[in-house]
Amino acid sequence: MALAEICSGEEEKLYQKAEARKGGWRGFKEFSLARKTPVGEDTVRFEFEDGTDTGFDFTPGQYLSIRIDEEKSGVTAPRHYTVTSKPGETHLAITTRLVQGGAVSTYMHKELEVGDKVRLAAPFGVFTPDHVCQ
């Protein structure tokens, strides 16, 4: 129980840190697909906006958790993709490759259109340059 309490406390600190950053939030928040740009064979950059112009602070190397329309896609579990936008920009971007048989990548590449809504969790994760290069 003591270990669980320590882990829960540390997790709560991470949520508070993500929420306190510029543009931060807790849980899943609705965003619109603002741009969908092919960047290579079977690879697309997806840029999401939430209607604010404050910008988003995060650490390079963090990931976004995305939930897509469950009724249209049939997918209930979130997927996680590395953030490919720069800290401070007014959008959040991910770049994905179309994976044959991949439910979310197939939906995003073939069905998701500009203006469609998705739900994103704030950028998260500790696989960042300051943690990897120590």
* Chain-centre distance for alpha carbon 12: 19
CA angle 85, 46, 104 (to 5 degrees): 125
Residue in the structure block whose two tokens are 């971007």: 93
Read off the pLDDT of residues 23-55 as tens digits, 9 standing for 90 and up. Answer: 989 999 999 999 999 999 999 999 999 998 889
Q: Give the residue, 62 or 69, on which the prediction is more confident.
A: 62
Read off the pLDDT of residues 83-128 as tens digits, 9 standing for 90 and up. Answer: 999 999 999 999 999 999 999 999 999 999 999 999 999 998 876 6
pTM of this structure: 0.87
37, HSE (Cβ side, Cα atoms, 13 Å)? 10
Strand partners, 64: 81
Domains of the chain: 2-132 (2.40.30.10)
List the one residue out of 90, 110, 91 whose CA is nearest residue 99: 110
Please state, in angstroms and rounded to a whole number, the distance separating the CA atoms of residues 40 and 21: 32
Band (pLDDT 50/70/90 cuts) for residue 72 is: confident
